[in-house]
Amino acid sequence: MSARLVLGTFSIALGLALASSAVAQNAPAPVADKEAAKPVGEPSISVTRHSGIFGGQKINYTATAGETFLKAEDGTPRAAIFTTSYVKDGRDPNRPVTFLFNGGPGSGSVWLHMGAFGPKRVAIPSDGTDDGAPPFPIVHNPDSLLDVTDIVFIDPVGTGFSHALGKTDPNDFWGVTKDAESVAQFIRLWLNENGRWNAPKFLGGESYGTTRSAAVVNQLEGAYNDVSLNGIILISTVLDFAAGADTQGNELSPMLNLPSMAATALYHGKAQASSTEAFVEEARQFAIGPYAAALLKGQKIGAQERASVRRELARFTGLSEAYLDQADLRVEPSRFYKELLRDRGLTVGRLDSRYTGRDYDNAGEQPDNDPSFYGIDAGFTAAINSYLREDLKVKSDRSYVTIGSVGTWDWRIGGRDANAYLNVTPYIGKALRENKGLRVFVGQGYYDFATPFYAAEYALTRTGIPQDRIEYRYYGSGHMMYVRDEDRVKLSRDIRDFISRR
């Protein structure tokens, strides 16, 4: 894309996963689905009943895994949205319900589903090492939120098992606004079907899923027939794409990345500080102060000021002053991944810079791949397919799309063209101003370069965004903080508290 989510070779993220707009914008149009000529038939749905202990409480619940058809005004089915919903038995119409999805765009909800909040999860290494080969343990997840809310995991069109139907062009659903419209349409249908219009409602996403959350909120609350929400859950947040674009001439990007570089340098022993929290706060203050001033002065900066900033930059990033001088005080993240541990022959991850990898050789300026993505993807892919097909009895001859299948993405919002300043944060500001009961939860990992925590703070502290109902929580891991056991427990506790305080 034209901003932070633009990924290189190793930039596949989710909700990780972030899709490259550069890739998305130039991707060939999808080949027409051979099933398009077949009769549409009826939605495929599997209903199973289960029991588990979540948040210390025994919960009996019903899992419904299957399709909901989105229809045109004339009743023609246009798309099948695959979702997995978990509803506590007894069907309390006033019990909270939380709608969750991942990102990409092009990512299924597998990551939040099998990593954080579903009743089962895949147990991959918690210490930032590769997940290896199967079998991967699929275990009970006491950190699921089912004790405080029903949960609906949504796979937008082109992800998971969701797909366009009949002669419908899937591109009709692939765009910031078009995608949000389809997700909002599904939510309204689910509320109809389950009698939950007056229940407390929470909406949440990870990575591009936070972008989607803002766009969906605009669809749900931006009209007179609105669906009022109690809370928005943003995990690994990206809202202001222009501010975070790693592109030449954007002086905000180095500033917003610096605290993440500081945390990473400290983690790998390339910096010294009493604590991560203290060091990143020091980096924040340097970034918004002396560093921002130096960047904005450009080539007009004086020699003495340049030397002072370079010295402090070296202390925060763990990089040599000579390297920083050659980089003109501006280190692109992709270069940082390669340079930080070059003396050890290692690279660090983009999604989670705790992870390290070894490239083909130690030359070059960028890593061959992202060790924090190939270190987890096999386990999650195996887990979602095994769990849906075996435990939830889903019957499908389609491949579950974890990430990456969508074609050209329409980045226009509000009628602006694709080159406009892409920022969905005002949607959240408007919703907060017009709904006094709405609150926002922001969860960020210190070691996440896909959606840096300081960029999230920057976006959400702009003009027009009420600050009194936004709360931030931080974790000692990266983009998918729940892969670290301690952070999954903390994230669950933090969000459980957020929902319970409605």
Residue 449 CA to its chain's centroid (Å):
12
**Final residue belonging to a domain, choices 348, 370, 392:** 370
Contacts of 313 (CB under 8 A, 6+ apart): 258, 291, 319, 324, 329
Q: Same domain, yes or no, for 343 and 395?
A: no
Q: Is residue 13 part of a domain?
A: no
* Cβ atoms 407, 27 nearer than 8 A: yes
In the chain, % helix, strand, coil (3-state, to 5) comes to: 35, 20, 45
Question: Each residue of 323-349: b (16+ CB within 10 Å) or e?
Answer: ebeebebbbbbbbbbbbbbbeeebbbb
Q: Same domain, yes or no, for 299 and 439?
A: no
Q: Same domain, yes or no, for 85 and 29?
A: yes
CATH number at 210 reads: 3.40.50.1820
- pLDDT score, position 225: 85
Q: CA 497, CA 502: separation in Å to the nearest integer?
A: 9
- pLDDT score, position 418: 58
**Final residue belonging to a domain, choices 335, 353, 370:** 370
Lowest mean pLDDT among 4-8, 157-161, 240-244, 362-366: 4-8
Domain extent at residue 310: 252-370
Amino acid symbol at 270:
K
Domain count, the chain: 2
Q: CA 39, CA 67: separation in Å to the nearest integer?
A: 16
Per DSSP, the residues of 217-255 read: HHHHHSSSS----SEEEEEEE--BTTTT---TT-SHHHH
- pLDDT score, position 38: 63
Model confidence band, residue 421 (pLDDT cutoffs 50, 70, 90) = confident
- pLDDT score, position 36: 45
Q: Same domain, yes or no, for 308 and 188?
A: no
pLDDT tens, residue by residue, 35-77: 444 678 899 999 999 999 999 999 999 999 999 999 999 999 9
Q: CA 321, CA 305: separation in Å to the nearest integer?
A: 14
**pLDDT at residue 26 tops 70:** no
Task: Give me the numbers of helices (H) and strands (E) for the chain, helices first please.
Answer: 15, 14
Model confidence band, residue 430 (pLDDT cutoffs 50, 70, 90) = very high
Q: CA 488, CA 145: separation in Å to the nearest integer?
A: 12
In the three-class reduction of DSSP (H, G, I as helix; E, B as strand; rest coil), residue 136 is classed as coil
Q: Is residue 200 part of a domain?
A: yes
Model confidence band, residue 417 (pLDDT cutoffs 50, 70, 90) = low
- pLDDT score, position 432: 97
Q: Same domain, yes or no, for 158 and 174?
A: yes
The overall average pLDDT reported for the chain is 91
- pLDDT score, position 41: 86
207 vs 36, more confident: 207
pTM equals 0.91
Q: Same domain, yes or no, for 485 and 347?
A: no
pLDDT tens, residue by residue, 451-498: 999 999 999 999 999 999 999 999 999 999 999 999 999 999 999 999
- pLDDT score, position 3: 36
* Cβ atoms 498, 149 nearer than 8 A: no
Residue 43, token pair as written in the block: 């939605």
pLDDT tens, residue by residue, 80-139: 999 999 999 999 999 999 999 999 999 999 999 999 999 999 998 888 888 889 999 999
- Mean pLDDT, residues 192-221: 97
Closest among 236, 244, 129, 131 to 481, alpha carbons compared: 236
Q: Is residue 4 part of a domain?
A: no
pLDDT tens, residue by residue, 281-312: 999 999 999 999 999 999 999 999 999 999 99
- Mean pLDDT, residues 155-180: 96
Q: Is residue 108 part of a domain?
A: yes
Contacts of 202 (CB under 8 A, 6+ apart): 96, 97, 98, 99, 149, 229, 230, 231, 232, 233, 499
Interhelix angle 208-221/425-434, rounded to 10 degrees, is 40
**Final residue belonging to a domain, choices 370, 385, 403:** 370
**pLDDT at residue 33 tops 50:** no
